[in-house]
Amino acid sequence: MKINVIDLFAGCGGLTDGFLKTRKYNTLAAVDWEFPTVNTLKNRLARKWGYDMSKNNILHFDIQRTEELLYGYKDSKFGISEGLVNVINNSKVDIIVGGPPCQAYSIAGRVRDKNGMQDDYRNFLFESYVKMVNHFKPQAFVFENVEGILSAKPGGISIIDRVRKAFIEIDYEITDNLRSNALFDTSYFGVPQKRKRVIIYGVKKSNTSSQEIKTFYSLMRSKKQPYPTNAKTAFENLPKIYPVIKENEIKKSHTVRLNGNPLPKNHEPRFHSKRDVKIFEILANDIQCGANKYTSTQALIQLYKEHTGKDSKFHKYHVIREDRPSNTIPAHLYKDGLRHIHPDPKQARSITVREAARIQTFDDDFEFLGSRGDQYKMIGNAVPPVFSEQIASIVYELFSNYNIKKEELCQTSHS
CB 123 within 8 A of CB 105: yes
- Fold for domain 3-229+384-414? Rossmann fold (3.40.50)
d(CA 221, CA 248): 55
CB 247 within 8 A of CB 264: no
Distances (CA, A) of 20 to 2, 59, 192, 388: 10, 18, 21, 10
Give mean pLDDT, residues 163-173.
96
Q: Give the model confidence (pLDDT) of 111-121 as tens digits.
A: 444 544 444 44
Q: Give the model confidence (pLDDT) of 190-221 as tens digits.
A: 999 999 999 999 999 999 999 999 999 999 99
Exposure of 136 in the CB half-sphere (CA atoms within 13 A): 36
Confidence at 67, pLDDT banded by 50, 70, 90 = very high
Q: What is the mean pLDDT of the chain?
A: 90
Whether residue 122 has pLDDT greater than 70? no
Report strand pairing: 140-146 vs 95-98: parallel
d(CA 167, CA 179): 18
For the chain, what percent of residues have pLDDT higher than 90? Answer: 78
pLDDT for position 117: 43
The C-alpha R_g of the chain, in whole angstroms, comes to 23
Domain boundaries, the chain: 3-229+384-414, 231-370
In terms of Cβ atoms closer than 10 Å to its own Cβ (0-12, 13-18, 19+), residue 262 is exposed
82 against 262, higher pLDDT? 82
d(CA 111, CA 104): 11
d(CA 253, CA 403): 58
**Angle in degrees, 0-180, between the axes of helices 372-381 and 35-47, rounded to the nearest 10:** 80
pLDDT for position 166: 95
Q: Give the model confidence (pLDDT) of 378-409 as tens digits.
A: 999 999 999 999 999 999 999 988 775 555 44
285 C-beta neighbours (distance < 10 Å), count: 16
Whether residue 375 has pLDDT greater than 80? yes
Report strand pairing: 183-185 vs 196-204: antiparallel
